[in-house]
Amino acid sequence: MKLDKSIHTFLTHCVIERNLSELTLKAYKKDLAQFTNFIPDNIYTIHEINKFTLREYIKYISGKYKPKSIKRKVATLKSFFNFMERDDIIETSPFRKIHLKIDRSKTLPKTISKSSIKTLLKYTYIERSKYNHNSRGYREATRDIAIIETLFMTGVRVSELCQITVSAMDLINEQIKITGKGKKERVVPICANSALLILKEYEELYRDNFVPDSSFFLNRDNRPISDQSVRRIIRKYCAICGIPEHVTPHMFRHTIATMLLENGVDIRNIQTLLGHSSLSVTEIYTHVSLSSQREILSMRHPRKDIN
């Protein structure tokens, strides 16, 4: 079977049988396209790909990407070849012939300082106060604040935030139903009064544009807001208030997890909040917490004053 047809068969399987999310499918397509572009022109079929081809490809991506990205790209290929083997398209996956040991060292997640969070939230409300209550500027500023408050309050991924529907935003019971990776659902309580108030005001301003299954957060054309739009909103307000950090939506997730851990919240509760399938994923925040403790102790430990 030709390689492009094999990939099409695999992606169809991912849609119909595995029911994978659009984001996962997009990542699979991107990784498989990159692999296809790497393959020499004299290789036409999947049967011609062997362990030597894979070794060369892994060597190639190892010089271009970080361990986390390499792991994902290799996992995509493994999934592809395992399906080909199970579907009897190839006799044996070439991955059975090689043993990989990818560097699993974890980079500590980047967080936003407490002072920057405070400044950002303060200036979003100040900016909104410059608009007339009935203006489009006020309406969009309210949406921007609601997005930032939700990111910080819940620690949701930006993709999850963009997928929140009107019916999933339950402001009466003060909770949000989040659809995470693998279409797994979790319910996150709205525990901050400031967030609840701004979400209620946003809902009131945009109610006429809502339908039950539509996205809760809308752009200026009343279409579902995109992750790129959320990034632009954050950059806009960071520039307005002069925050030096390069703040991304995902940094809110890292920040709330770290702050909760440092405030004594049990790591399993943080795992549930973030929607991590494994506790080992959440445990990276313990390293952040320990680094923070080290910094505090190095400055304030009484031993340095005892000679």
Query: Got the DSSP string for 122-169?
Result: HHHHHHHTTS-TTSHHHHHHHHHHHHHHHHHHH---HHHHHH-BTTTE
The residue annotated as part of the active site, out of 72, 78, 250, 287, is 250
C-alpha span between 3 and 53 (Å, rounded): 13
181 labelled catalytic: yes
The residue annotated as part of the active site, out of 73, 128, 253, 254, is 253
Instruction: Give the CATH fold of the 114-296 domain.
Output: hpI Integrase; Chain A (1.10.443)
78 labelled catalytic: no
pLDDT given at position 267: 84
Q: Decide: 234 and 249 in contact? Cβ < 8 Å.
A: yes
231 labelled catalytic: no
Which CATH entry fits the domain spanning 3-97: 3.90.1150.10, 1.20.1740.10, 1.10.150.130, 3.10.450.40? 1.10.150.130
**What residue segments make up the domains of the chain, in order of their start?**
3-97, 114-296
pLDDT given at position 288: 60
pLDDT given at position 298: 62
| Residue 122, amino acid | K
Structure tokens at 56: 């060369």
pLDDT given at position 297: 53
pLDDT given at position 299: 64
206 labelled catalytic: no
pTM given for the model: 0.72
The residue annotated as part of the active site, out of 73, 139, 143, 157, is 157
The residue annotated as part of the active site, out of 71, 181, 200, 231, is 181
Q: Decide: 224 and 164 in contact? Cβ < 8 Å.
A: no
235 labelled catalytic: no
Q: Decide: 237 and 120 in contact? Cβ < 8 Å.
A: yes
- Residue by residue, pLDDT tens for the chain (307 residues) are 888 999 999 999 999 988 888 888 999 999 999 999 999 888 889 999 999 999 999 999 988 888 888 989 999 999 999 999 999 999 999 998 887 776 655 566 788 998 999 999 999 999 999 999 999 999 999 999 999 999 999 999 999 999 999 999 999 999 999 998 878 889 999 988 999 999 999 999 999 999 878 899 999 999 999 999 999 999 999 999 999 889 999 999 999 888 888 888 888 888 888 888 777 777 777 766 655 555 555 665 554 566 4
Same topology for domains 3-97 and 114-296, yes or no?
no
The residue annotated as part of the active site, out of 128, 139, 143, 276, is 276
253 labelled catalytic: yes
